[in-house]
Structure 1
Amino acid sequence: MVRSLNKLSASAVKSAIPGKYSDGGGLWFYKRQDGGAQWFLRVHVHGRRREMGLGSYPAVSLKEAREQADKYRAMTRQGLDPIKQREREQREAVRNLHILKDVALDAFESRKAELKGDGLAGRWFSPLELHVLPKLGKVPVSEIDQTDIRDTLAPIWHTKADTARKAMNRLSICMRHAAALGLDVDLQATEKAKALLGKQRHKAQNIPALHWKDVPDFYQSLTDGSVTHLALRLLILTALRSKPIRFLRLDQIEGDVWTVPGENMKSRKDAAQDFRVPLSTEALRVIDEASAFARDGFLFPSVRKGVISDATMSRMMERRGMVERPHGFRSSFRDWVAENTNATYEVAETCMGHMVGGAVERAYRRTDFLEQRRMLMERWSQVLLGSSGASVRVLNA
């Protein structure tokens, strides 16, 4: 028997006295004694009666109540429990209301262990914080699409290409993190945004470096005996990045070998992958001179606390009117090795702290070429001091 539907009218609902009124098909209107009113739907699922509220009146009109009833009756015809389905929809809606800022912070937190110093320097998070979150931070991550990303990064896509690339990369990680949390996101949104933005016009520029023939004059000009001059001397002598130099501790040195902790080496994040540095006679002399400034075990302390900053040596070169920067001395050294020695590629790259070869190759090759590097670094120090011809081939390694 077909049950009649739409028994009620809008005026009848509005003027109803306390009681329960059927609209047909299991939809009921209940007017309470206190004057309030609400809608509910009765359905039968899996042999039992289920009753679900559809909202209060007049916030939910008769028309809206009928639309909801039609939706949930259709579910019961498919053998689905409408109450459980609605609860599932509500849970999904709540999940997908996570805004990008919260997801980004959670993604950052989960990756801190992979980052240098647990990400305290903020370099991983800053591209998002500066260029993405101001515009998209309050947007539910499930609603972010390629056009949102394009419009956000378009202002810096060509003018600050490297920063934009990092921001896009971090955003992609955040989207994958959101998916892992069970949120409904478009994992291809960043790739689609790249297609909309087009190829970046800006070309990355190498850090300016002195030609290796000019390095000895610069090295010999660092004569004031200050922490900055001594740190820069040791940086040039060892061809390392600034972080190992700045965080050098006296207890890391044994004889003429300095063991740099893996966390201080860019390509050796695993603490077990410490890096041995052979110290030339000149490097040992610089360390001995700098030891007078040592504080809390650190050879190059700052004026106030901690160690000298990442910018200390750069600012000194800047004050001299130079465009070159400390990191460029690594390039100077590498060019000298290539042009003036017959050192193997593996020896030259290991001097700079680079990890050479794949994981399998490194597993079988246990040497770090310490003896070959010791000879090479001693020769480099002689070049810096101007005590021998700079262009003579020196190694047969």
Structure 2
Amino acid sequence: MARPLNKLSAAAVRNANPGKYSDGGGLWFYKRKDGGAQWFLRVTAHGRRREMGLGRYPDVSLKDARALAEKWRAEAAKGLDPVKERERQRREQARNLHLLKDIALDAFESRKADLKGDGKAGRWFSPLELHVLPKLGKVPVAELDQTDIRDTLAPIWHEKADTARKAMNRLSICIRHAAALGLDVDIQATDKARALLGQQRHTSQNIPAMNWREVPGFYESLCEGGVTELALRLLILTAVRSKAVRFFHLDQIDGDTWTVPAENMKGRKNKTTDFRVPLSNEALSVIEAAKPFARDGYLFPSVRKGVISDMTMTQLMKRRGLVERPHGFRASFRDWVAETTNTPHDVAETALGHVVGGAVERAYRRTDFLDQRRTLMERWAQYLLRKNANVCVLSAVGE
């Protein structure tokens, strides 16, 4: 026997006291003691009773509630679980709301903690922002396919190979991120796009490095005593990357040891792992000569604010007609170590701030070879000075 329907009236609902009231056919009105009210539907699906909310009253009127109840009773009559069916339909609708640009930003936010400087430099996101999102940003990520990706990256696939590779990798991360969110995406879209684009013709080139035999002569030429020359001297003497030198702060020195914060080191996923750099006597002299320039504790400030930029030392070398770049002095140092010393491999690599050995090996080997590196860096400094009988004597400004 069919259950009676439409037992309630609009007035009865409006004036109802706290309690539950049946409208028939499994539709119920619930008035709470706090004055709030809502609709819910009870149906049987797969042999068990299911209860699903249909919305708040008066946002959902009696008429609307009856229409919704009829819709979901019909789904139950088809043998479907109306609660699960509603969730499926919601997911289907959500597919068109998750645009690639939103997924990309969400993926970026979730990875900031693993990026150097929390991604503030924008290097992780910029390949997407410049080369992918202008064309594909408004495409629902669930509709993204290999041809979309191919057509987007084809213009730079060979001409800007490294940038294209980074953009492809970032896009792959975004798609996997979307999959983790439960979206129906083609997880292999980027692999298929690579197959369509083919092998890149462009070959990456190493940063030009000065032959280690020529470094002493260049070191000698840095005699003007300005911020840039002193920064380059310290860069050469310590074989660290430019960011560590540019953000050198006086608080980082303890005697003859310089502790570089982890965020200023490349590849330090563990942001609590700083890097100790032994300072030779010559490096300490350079630091003393640079102290009068210090501003807010930073040894190499820019003219206006902050510290010198990444291009400041590069421009100095360009003005001198050199093709080599500051970062190349790390390679110069490493070649000098290999060709003129018998330094153990692990010590030499640690001197460059490289992570040596596998995770298990590093777990048992806690040393950073500071004493051995101190001897090595002093030998490097002496090599730079010994080759220069006329090397300029550094002095603080005003002396």
Give the aligned partner of residue 153 of structure 2.
Answer: 153
Give the aligned partner of residue 250 of structure 1.
Answer: 250
- For residues 47 and 257 of structure 1, do their structure 2 counterparts lie closer, same or farther at Cα, with a shift above 3 Å needed? closer
Corresponding position: 1:292 with 2:284: no
Give the aligned partner of residue 361 of structure 1.
Answer: 361
CA contact (8 A) 1:235 1:245 kept: yes
Residue segments in structure 2 that go unaligned for 5+ positions in a row: 1-42, 49-70, 390-399
- For residues 337 and 84 of structure 1, do their structure 2 counterparts lie closer, same or farther at Cα, with a shift above 3 Å needed? closer
Secondary structure of 1:323's counterpart equals coil
Corresponding position: 1:340 with 2:340: yes
- For residues 46 and 168 of structure 1, do their structure 2 counterparts lie closer, same or farther at Cα, with a shift above 3 Å needed? closer
- Mapped to 1, the partners of 2:330 and 2:173 lie a distance apart of 31
Q: How big is the shift at 1:386?
A: 2.9
Give the aligned partner of residue 180 of structure 2.
Answer: 180
CA contact (8 A) 2:216 2:388 kept: no
Corresponding position: 1:220 with 2:229: no
Q: Deviations over 1:40-64 (max 9, x none)?
A: xxx997799xxxxxxxxxxxxxxxx
Give the aligned partner of residue 142 of structure 2.
Answer: 142
Secondary structure of 1:329's counterpart equals helix
CA contact (8 A) 2:95 2:142 kept: no
Corresponding position: 1:112 with 2:112: yes
Secondary structure of 1:212's counterpart equals coil
- Mapped to 1, the partners of 2:355 and 2:44 lie a distance apart of 68
- For residues 72 and 255 of structure 1, do their structure 2 counterparts lie closer, same or farther at Cα, with a shift above 3 Å needed? closer
Secondary structure of 1:289's counterpart equals helix
**Equivalence map 1:46-65=2 (5 Å):** none
- For residues 330 and 168 of structure 1, do their structure 2 counterparts lie closer, same or farther at Cα, with a shift above 3 Å needed? same
Give the aligned partner of residue 270 of structure 1.
Answer: 270
Secondary structure of 1:138's counterpart equals coil
Q: How big is the shift at 1:267?
A: 2.5
Residue 254 of structure 1 aligns to which amino acid in structure 2? D
Give the aligned partner of residue 326 of structure 1.
Answer: 326
Most deviating of 350-359 and 73-82 = 73-82
- For residues 72 and 330 of structure 1, do their structure 2 counterparts lie closer, same or farther at Cα, with a shift above 3 Å needed? same
Give the aligned partner of residue 377 of structure 2.
Answer: 377
Residue 289 of structure 2 aligns to which amino acid in structure 1? E
- Mapped to 1, the partners of 2:196 and 2:384 lie a distance apart of 51
Secondary structure of 1:163's counterpart equals helix
Q: How big is the shift at 1:300?
A: 0.7
CA contact (8 A) 1:256 1:278 kept: yes
**Percentage of identical aligned residues:** 75
- For residues 75 and 240 of structure 1, do their structure 2 counterparts lie closer, same or farther at Cα, with a shift above 3 Å needed? same
Aligned Cα root-mean-square deviation (Å)? 2.4
Secondary structure of 2:277's counterpart equals strand
Give the aligned partner of residue 314 of structure 1.
Answer: 314
Secondary structure of 1:213's counterpart equals coil
Residue 312 of structure 1 aligns to which amino acid in structure 2? T
Secondary structure of 2:258's counterpart equals strand
- Mapped to 2, the partners of 1:331 and 1:47 lie a distance apart of 73
Give the aligned partner of residue 38 of structure 1.
Answer: none
Q: Return the TM-score normalized by structure 2.
A: 0.77
- Mapped to 1, the partners of 2:387 and 2:86 lie a distance apart of 83
Residue 134 of structure 1 aligns to which amino acid in structure 2? P
Secondary structure of 1:276's counterpart equals strand
Give the aligned partner of residue 101 of structure 1.
Answer: 101
- For residues 342 and 45 of structure 1, do their structure 2 counterparts lie closer, same or farther at Cα, with a shift above 3 Å needed? closer
- Mapped to 2, the partners of 1:266 and 1:206 lie a distance apart of 17
Secondary structure of 2:80's counterpart equals coil
- For residues 235 and 91 of structure 1, do their structure 2 counterparts lie closer, same or farther at Cα, with a shift above 3 Å needed? same
Q: Deviations over 1:263-313 (max 9, x none)?
A: 111122323211111111110000000011111111111111111111111
Residue segments in structure 1 that go unaligned for 5+ positions in a row: 1-42, 49-70, 390-397
Q: Deviations over 1:113-146 (max 9, x none)?
A: 1111111111000000010001100000000001
Give the aligned partner of residue 303 of structure 1.
Answer: 303
Corresponding position: 1:191 with 2:191: yes
- Mapped to 1, the partners of 2:379 and 2:47 lie a distance apart of 90
CA contact (8 A) 2:211 2:332 kept: yes
Corresponding position: 1:132 with 2:132: yes
- Mapped to 1, the partners of 2:84 and 2:110 lie a distance apart of 33
Secondary structure of 2:303's counterpart equals coil
Give the aligned partner of residue 241 of structure 1.
Answer: 241
CA contact (8 A) 1:243 1:264 kept: yes
